[in-house]
Amino acid sequence: MKQFISLLAVLSVCFCSCAQQEPSEISAETPKKVNYVTEVVIPEISIPWGMEFLPDGSILVTEKTGTLIHFKDGKKITIKGLPEIYLRGQGGLMDIKLHPNYEETGWIYFSHASAEGEGDGGNTAIIRAKLNENSLTNVEQLYKGVPNTKKGQHFGSRIEFDKEGYLYFSIGDRGNRDVNPQDITRDGGKIYRLNADGSIPIDNPFVNNEGAKQAIFSYGHRNPQGMAMHPKTGAIWVNEHGPKGGDEINIVAKGKNFGWPVISYGVNYSGTTFTEITEKEGMEQPLFYWVPSIAPSGMAFVTSNNYKSWKNSVLVGSLKFQYLERLVLKNNKVVKREKLFEGLGRFRNIKQAPNGYLYAGVEGVGIVKIVPDSF
């Protein structure tokens, strides 16, 4: 069933702090109101974490509670064959990504929380599989974070390919901020890079460091839940949850340390401080940060002519405030912020489909197509 929701989205600028510019540099013009129409394409999904579009136009959706949905010809089909999904806190079935040459290879990549391995609890795993009718086949685990832990926070996890075909994914610090993010011999608080078959690229930054996790590409991250490749530069961008304040956007770079928790623009949830510094030599500054935190999730670059006034901007879902945020960029600086669809729900994911339209995963609503009405 398709349901149409007509929304008048007031594109309002929000106050923020930013590591690369002063708040006064962010445009405070009052944008004109724009009418939008949203179509609920796939209804009644509790937490639609990830989605991908198959060549035939059908959609694969991961439901955090452990269900893989194939939406085709107006029907929701449950796909069998997933490995056991560890459900705890923020962990479950998470992201999904097609191989860049999917029509040739047939590989589909997933991130999920897994209890495999030693110890109680779970950690983030990356698998790939092929879709045969209504079942997954050829399931292979490519990476599994260790150790397992019963902590329910900060599994990450997003997946992205770059233009060279490398596979990137995130694992959050797993609630162990004082140990994992700054230690390259441990999983957690990292962005990882693999070849598409799961092997380690020979030029990964820590392949020659004794004891290091050789899949690590960058470290010092907290909990990256958004990841997208810049359509022009090919760089991998991530957004990540800070504590209370200090959510960030970072451009991932080989071997770089992004500082968590040594430097941060946030504080503990109680309001107390855990660090006195926001910058340090040898640690990267964020491209942008939010204060207060918006709890960013999915992220997408807009390149489609279907959204001419949005083109080349970045969309980020806000879980905390339940809106979609548009960031206007100039020379890799955010010059304007706009809130879209306030109150629609927790935006877990946002994607630009091959047909040029934007689709969002909204918790409790489902998959929503965004149709521009007055551009």
CA distance 165 to 236: 12
User: 3-class SS at 247?
Assistant: strand
Place of tokens 């909990």: 223
Measuring CA to CA, which residue among 287, 295, 292 is closest to residue 266? 292
Token reading at 71? 């939406």
User: Catalytic pick from 99, 154, 221, 241?
Assistant: 154
Strand partners, 23: none
Q: Is 99 among the catalytic positions?
A: no
CA distance 74 to 92: 26
Residues contacting 92, CB < 8 A, separation 6+? 47, 49, 64, 65, 66, 85, 86, 112, 113
Q: How many residues does the chain have?
A: 375
CA distance 287 to 272: 25
- Contact between 293 and 265 under an 8 Å Cβ cutoff? The reply is no
CA distance 182 to 184: 6
Cα torsion angle, 348, 349, 350, 353, sign: negative
CA distance 330 to 5: 32
Residues contacting 304, CB < 8 A, separation 6+? 311, 352, 356, 357, 358
- Contact between 222 and 262 under an 8 Å Cβ cutoff? The reply is no
Residue type, 225: Q
Measuring CA to CA, which residue among 352, 353, 354, 349 is closest to residue 366? 349
Q: Which residues are catalytic?
A: 154
